[in-house]
């Protein structure tokens, strides 16, 4: 397939489609005196994480939602972080909680994620949220995996019966997107750092999801002609995990970075927060 025939999967278009459906719902909530509110927690001063958190807050405000930002120093203890999360759990004006990953070494990230109340776990990071997603009935599947699925859906790219190869097995990305593809009837291979002969496995894929965290990792000659390539990676300098230029030649469809999976992830986070506000806009007492 020549480069000109490759479909560029426009994440901004997919994100705009998701956000367009939120305006009326946010207005409906406003009539009831409810403003969907996302609380973001940033621990430490990693510049990339700070940028992601800022982008999420700005996206909330643009839609007329509220965003509370909790910034904690890098030397925060697990107990202090858990206490901050519990405060947000108890705050009836907060509908969704996002703890920016990764937290500094020395904090037990799993313990912190588990402190998030399930009804506010809008990024599907708790074990219960993960399990619900694996079973296929999560209210809030992890946002980046959900974004990958939303892009496939928007462009009506078939998943059923296709061989999907996911590179990466993190609990917030590789594993949940593998589960979602499996639930959508793909045949899924999940690869990781100990996978033997990764290029040969990727070459078998009809759908490739890159979730590695290494810039330009996926090479052009790994891609089977006609495959769909989704790059969930986001590395410093706006660089994805896929060597985009090299993969264009063989891919039938591909997400760019930026303007691919990233904006859809944010739109999905907003949608989940609105979903949560509609569900629990008035909180029952604990």
Which positions touch ligand NAP (CB under 6 A)? 144, 167-170, 172-174, 191-195, 198, 211-214, 232-235, 241, 261-262, 265
129-130-132 Cα angle (round to 5):
65
Among residues 100, 120, 121, 231, which one is catalytic? 100
Q: How far is the CB of 190 from ligand NAP (least distance, A)?
A: 9
Among residues 10, 19, 56, 121, which one is catalytic? 56
Q: How far is the CB of 32 from ligand NAP (least distance, A)?
A: 31
Contact 233, 265 (CB under 8 A): no
Residue with structure tokens 């992601």?
A: 52
Q: How far is the CB of 194 from ligand NAP (least distance, A)?
A: 5
**Residue 24: what are its φ and ψ, rounded to 5°?**
-65, -35
Instruction: Select from 231, 262, 240 the least CA-distant residue to 14.
Output: 262
170 is in an annotated binding site: yes
69 is in an annotated binding site: no
169 is in an annotated binding site: yes
Q: Which residues pair with 208 in a beta bridge?
A: 165, 229
Using the minimum distance from each CB to ligand NAP, give the nearer residue, 29 or 165.
Answer: 165
Q: Is 46 a catalytic residue?
A: no
Task: Output the residue with the shortest Cβ distance to ligand NAP.
Answer: 170
Q: Ramachandran region of residue 196, left (φ > 0), alpha (ψ -120 to 50) or beta?
A: beta
Ranges of beta strands (E only) in the chain are 7-8, 37-43, 66-72, 96-99, 163-167, 187-191, 207-210, 228-231, 253-254
Q: Is 156 a catalytic residue?
A: no
> How far, CA to CA in Å, does 143 sit from each of 55, 78, 120, 137, 250?
15, 24, 13, 14, 28
Instruction: Select from 274, 281, 283 the least CA-distant residue to 24.
Output: 274
* 3-class DSSP assignment, residue 161: coil
Q: How far is the CB of 77 from ligand NAP (least distance, A)?
A: 22
Instruction: Select from 222, 223, 281, 226 the least CA-distant residue to 253.
Output: 226
Using the minimum distance from each CB to ligand NAP, give the nearer residue, 22 or 172.
Answer: 172
Using the minimum distance from each CB to ligand NAP, give the nearer residue, 40 or 144.
Answer: 144
Q: Is 123 a catalytic residue?
A: yes
Using the minimum distance from each CB to ligand NAP, give the nearer residue, 88 or 242.
Answer: 242
Q: How far is the CB of 234 from ligand NAP (least distance, A)?
A: 4
Using the minimum distance from each CB to ligand NAP, give the nearer residue, 93 or 195.
Answer: 195
Residues known to be catalytic: 56, 100, 123
- Binding site as annotated, residues for NADP(+): 168-170
């Amino acid at each position: 397939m020549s480069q000109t025939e490759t479909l560029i999967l426009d994440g901004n278009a997919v994100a705009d489609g998701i956000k367009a459906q939120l305006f009326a719902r946010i207005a409906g909530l406003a009539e009831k005196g409810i403003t969907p509110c996302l609380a973001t927690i940033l621990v430490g001063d990693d510049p990339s994480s700070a940028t992601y958190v800022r982008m999420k807050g700005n996206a909330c405000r643009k839609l007329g939602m509220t965003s509370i930002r909790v910034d904690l120093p890098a030397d925060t203890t697990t107990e202090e972080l858990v206490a901050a999360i519990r405060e947000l759990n108890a705050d009836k004006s907060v509908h969704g909680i996002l703890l920016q990953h990764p937290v500094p070494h020395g904090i037990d990230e799993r313990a912190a994620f588990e402190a998030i109340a399930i009804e506010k776990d809008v990024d599907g990071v708790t074990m219960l949220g993960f399990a619900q997603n694996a079973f296929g009935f999560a209210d809030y599947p992890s946002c980046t995996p959900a974004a990958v699925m939303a892009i496939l859906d928007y462009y009506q790219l078939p998943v059923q019966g296709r061989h999907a190869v996911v590179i990466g097995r993190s609990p917030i990305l590789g594993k949940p997107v593998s589960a979602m593809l499996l639930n959508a009837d793909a045949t899924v291979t999940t690869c990781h750092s100990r996978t033997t002969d990764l290029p040969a496995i990727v070459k078998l894929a009809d759908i490739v999801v890159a979730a590695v965290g290494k810039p330009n990792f996926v090479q052009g000659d790994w891609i089977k002609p006609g495959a769909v390539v989704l790059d969930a990676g986001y590395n410093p300098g706006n660089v994805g995990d896929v060597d985009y230029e090299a993969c264009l030649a063989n891919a039938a469809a591909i997400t760019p970075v930026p303007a691919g999976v990233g904006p859809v992830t944010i739109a999905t986070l907003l949608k989940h927060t609105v979903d949560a506000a509609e569900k629990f806009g008035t909180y029952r007492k604990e």
